[in-house]
Amino acid sequence: MLQQDMIHMGKESSHSPQEVLEMAEKTFGEELGLKIANRGDGFIQFQGGGGYVTVQARPLNGGSEVDIEGREWTNPIVAFLSKI
């Protein structure tokens, strides 16, 4: 069995948690075509293309602390973190 490429990264952002989650929905859902698999207070999870992306955002110092985990979507995850 082959191990899938997984990534787990975090970042502090000046955007609010709600803004981060809205940006994630636009990026991973609308632009990349992943389906929303689950969402709740402070997180959204996408699935598609043989992998997944989970974005969590918590309030921190007027902005947010963002954690992203994913499989098969490493480049888009890194790009997303660079723009938030």
pLDDT band at 76 (very low <50, low <70, confident <90, very high): very high
pLDDT digits (tens, 9 = 90+) for 30-57: 999 999 999 999 999 999 999 999 999 9
Domain range annotation of the chain:
8-83
- What's the one-letter identity of residue 40? G
The answer for 33, left when phi > 0, alpha when psi is -120 to 50, beta otherwise, is left
Q: What is the DSSP string of 18-79?
A: HHHHHHHIIIIIIIT-PEEEEEETTEEEEEETTEEEEEEEEEETTEEEEEEEEES-HHHHHH
CATH superfamily of 8-83: Kinase associated domain 1, KA1 (3.30.310.80)
Mean of the per-residue pLDDT values of the chain: 94
